[in-house]
Structures are given as structure tokens and as C-alpha cells.
Amino acid sequence: MASDDQDPELLRHVFERTEVLRKPLTGIIAGYHLLPYILVGPEHEHPSRSVEVRGRIRVSPRLVITPGRDGPTYGELFGETELMDRTLTMRVFSFRYASRVSLANEDLRIRRHDRDTRGQVERVLEELTQREVINTGVILSPDIRFYPVSVDRFIREILDQEFRD
């Protein structure tokens, strides 16, 4: 039997149940930049309390990868000649991760709160509205122990929006 942190079904559940409550209104910009987020979820040991993770995701500029003149083609690399586009566009995302600690630095801050998760989310949304912050995402995680999975969900939703436009 897999432990909680290695159970793919649990991780899939966390990913699917994560709610992106607020996306940054400024969107992803062309160059290197920071994408702030606030993630809230119930404390594992005390579900009536909440944990808040404030962090920043470092986003690279769009990288366009093309096959080199002397190297293999995409068709040769992937065994596909009709579907594969001649260029691939991607981004690189990185963010700090901490486990079982209370910490604060410029890229990651983890705090525990006595109020329940919904109450903490409402407080965060109100704070961002009052301060007129438009570049910060807000994420609700069903299991704070796996908050990087919830951050991954946030990134994927941002990317879906970027590459659809």
C-alpha cells in the first residue's frame, strides 16, 4: 500500500478538487516575471483551522524551440510528421516548497490561522480588493500537505488561458 505522499489517486484528487478562485488580471507577460499567489487550505491536524501559503512563481519568457539544421527533425524525434508543429512554445515555472514548517522569506511565507478555510479565503479576497491588487492569484486547496499540486493546477489554468488567447 502506498503512503499518502506517494498515492497517485490522492494526488489526482487534490489536483481535481483544487479551486482557482481568482486569476491574476494582468495575465502572463512576455518577459521574465513573478506571479504571486495566495493558497489557503485546512490544517491537516485541525480541519477547523486554516493554513495560508503566500508565494511567488518565477516565470520565464516564452521559449521557442526549433529543430537545429544539423539535428534531427521533430518527425524523426517523435515519429510524427503530420501533427507536430515545426516549433514548440513553452514556459519554465519555479517556486519554493517547504514541508511541515512555518517560514517566511521573500518567495514563500506559510502561516497558520485560527479561522476556518472559507473564512480565511474571504479575508484574503477582501484584502486584495481593498489594496486593489490585480496580479495575485488565489487558490483553495483541499489538502494543504500537497500544496505544490494545487500550485501546479493554478499554473496549468494560467497556461490554458495564455495559449488559448
pTM: 0.72
Q: Is residue 139 part of a domain?
A: yes
8 domain-assigned: no
Within a domain: 82 = no
Has residue 72 been placed in a domain? no
For residues 158 and 67, what is the distance between their CA atoms, to the nearest angstrom? 27
Q: Which domain does 46 fall in, by range?
A: 17-64+91-164
Which residues are within 8 A (CB) of 165 and not within 5 positions of it... i.e. 6 or more apart?
A: none
Cα of first residue to Cα of last residue in the chain, in angstroms, is: 43
pLDDT band per the 50, 70, 90 thresholds, residue 1? very low
What's the whole-number average pLDDT of the chain? 78
- 107: confidence class by pLDDT, cuts 50, 70, 90: confident
User: pLDDT tens-digit profile of 34-53?
Assistant: 889 999 999 988 999 999 99
Distance CA 56, CA 103 (A): 14
pLDDT digits (tens, 9 = 90+) for 118-149: 999 999 999 999 999 999 999 999 999 888 89
The three-state secondary structure class of 113 is strand
Cell of 100: 511541515
**Lowest model confidence (mean pLDDT) among 2-6, 144-148, 151-155:** 2-6
Long-range pairs for 104-110 at CB < 8 Å and ≥24 separation? Answer: 106/56, 107/55, 107/56, 107/58, 108/53, 108/54, 108/55, 108/56, 109/53, 109/54, 109/55, 110/51, 110/52, 110/53, 110/54
Task: Give domain status of residue 135, yes or no.
Answer: yes
Burial 28-61 (b: 16+ CB within 10 A, else e): beeeeeebebbbbbbbeeeeebbbbbbbbbebee
Per the structure, how many domains does the chain have?
1
Q: Which of 57, 12, 21 is nearest to 40 (CA)?
A: 21
> Would 156 be classed as within a structural domain?
yes
Residue 5 belongs to some domain of the structure: no
**84 within a domain of the structure (yes/no):** no
